[in-house]
Structure 1
Amino acid sequence: MIKVENLKKIYGPDEALNITELTIESSECFGLVGNNGAGKTTFFRLILDLIRASSGRVMINGEDVTKTEEWKRTVCSYLDEHMLLSFLSPVEYFETLRKIYGLGEQDLENHLEKFSPLFNDEILGKKKYIRDLSKGNIKKVGIAAAFLGAPSVILLDEPFENLDPTSQNRLKKIITEEREINGTTFLISSHDLIHVTDICNRIVLLEKGHVLQDLKDKKEVMAEALTDYFDR
């Protein structure tokens, strides 16, 4: 469970985020939407302790993320390509992560097999460094890496961006199955309202750093509420 209490991030005179209280339950698929500058990426970076809050705190399973490292064993993410070791090939990168996580070779093979439809024979064994892949394929590598090691929480920032329609649908299937089979909690930030409403059972709308709507309803009802907001 992730719990936010009086969380603020201020840059000079500008308030980037101000969330009084928010709880994300285990096994939720939590969607985060909003226009540019709404505070989505700031919120994710605060959860991951990549930046420090001006005030307030984020708790993961009862632990303040700024005061312990234990939560990092069960939380993984992919926010952007800067999180990758782009000077490695995808195979080298996954092998490096396998050793860090203490996984067996068969564990990695099984993991990559799960992502084979998403990779579409365009990533593994191509003798390319990650940095030389297309933006969409770089994203696929990052997303597959975020799933490695069976984390209980996965954060994905704009996971559908730069993916073709077939890959978007395959990714949605992977996320849905991971949640249904393993009870994984997902936090997904996206500008793509269709995909977010397809897979998320809860969607929070941010506006200028504040929670404007917290939607927990049928897909069609959430889609209508979001359409009304963004069509203003």
Structure 2
Amino acid sequence: MLEIPEGEWGKNTTAVKVENLEKDYGKVKALKGITFEVRKGEIFGLIGPNGAGKSTTLKILATLLRPSGGRAEVFGYDVVNDADKVRGIISYLPEEAGAYKNLTGLEYLQFMARLYAKDEAKAREMVELGVKIADLGERIRDKVSTYSKGMTRKLLLARALMVMPRLAILDEPASGLDIINAYTIRKTIKRFAGEKGVTFLISSHNMLEVEFLCDRVALINRGRIIETGTPKELKEKYSAENLEEVFMKAIGAGV
């Protein structure tokens, strides 16, 4: 992994810093100057309804989109000017990601490990970790085309985490999964943050799930951050029972 700089933005406990970030798609402003920070080692949730700007933000931080304005850094590296360095320390899992269906789960992990590892020994180490994370038993040797959605998602999460990124960017990691697979994925994320020190930035429209998972959250609506804090702080501020109620009160929906 790359050495982390101690520049103006790379100091102390900051993993991600976003400042006045904007993104335009023609006449449509997807992001309208959002600002937030993610601390090293925490699980940070970016939550809001569909179309709020969550995926756009994640794609900019993953260097897949260029912002129209503002700036963002990951461990001190600018996502535009230092894009290659950012890619070297992150892992990104899109909501609609897929795996190669004609490969077995094990072959898929082996293929991806060789793209990241410096040598064959490191690749084998990554694959061994990936197999443990996926926890598919003997099904790891079956073709991905035979997997359920939950099994595929666990395989993809394994691919994202087996490289031991400094920052894992996960877009709707448990979307559409049954309660057992969703629970497994949440526990894996918590374990890697707690035991391995991986920083997570997660987007979700499932606010109850995020409340269980995240240390802090930012509520986003129509391209703007409307609140940031721990779930407990936000529930106390709005006298709410859960984050869904917080969100509705924050946007003035009259709950």
Does residue 144 of the first structure (1) align with residue 173 of the second (2)?
A: no
Moved over 4 A (4+): none
Preserved contact between residue 123 and residue 137 of structure 1 (Cα < 8 Å)? no
Question: What's 1:209 paired with?
Answer: 223
**What is the RMSD of the two structures over their aligned residues, measured on CA atoms?**
2.2
Which whole-Å deviations, capped at 9, do the CAs of 1:200-224 have from their partners, x for residues lacking one?
A: 0111111100001112242893763
Preserved contact between residue 78 and residue 156 of structure 1 (Cα < 8 Å)? yes
Gaps (5+ residues) in structure 2?
A: 1-14
Gaps (5+ residues) in structure 1?
A: none
Preserved contact between residue 26 and residue 185 of structure 1 (Cα < 8 Å)? yes
Question: What's 1:77 paired with?
Answer: 92
Question: What's 1:226 paired with?
Answer: 244
- Identify which range, 37-46 or 77-86, moves more after superposition: 77-86
Q: Percent identity?
A: 29
**TM-score normalized with structure 2 length:** 0.80
| Mapped partners of 2:233, 2:180: distance in 1 | 21
- Identify which range, 176-185 or 160-169, moves more after superposition: 160-169
Of residues 118, 124, 127 in structure 2, which corresponds to 1:108?
Answer: 127
- How far apart are 1:138 and its partner, in Å? 2.2
Question: What's 2:197 paired with?
Answer: 183
Preserved contact between residue 81 and residue 142 of structure 1 (Cα < 8 Å)? no
Q: How does 1:121-160 map to 2 (within 5 A)?
A: 121=137, 123-126=139-142, 128=143, 130-160=144-174
Of residues 85, 93, 96 in structure 1, which corresponds to 2:108?
Answer: 93
- More contact order relative to length (CA 8 Å, sep ≥ 6): 1
Letter in 1 for 2:85: E
Residues paired across the two proteins, number? 227
- Identify which range, 15-24 or 41-50, moves more after superposition: 15-24
Does residue 31 of the first structure (1) align with residue 45 of the second (2)?
A: yes
Letter in 1 for 2:111: T
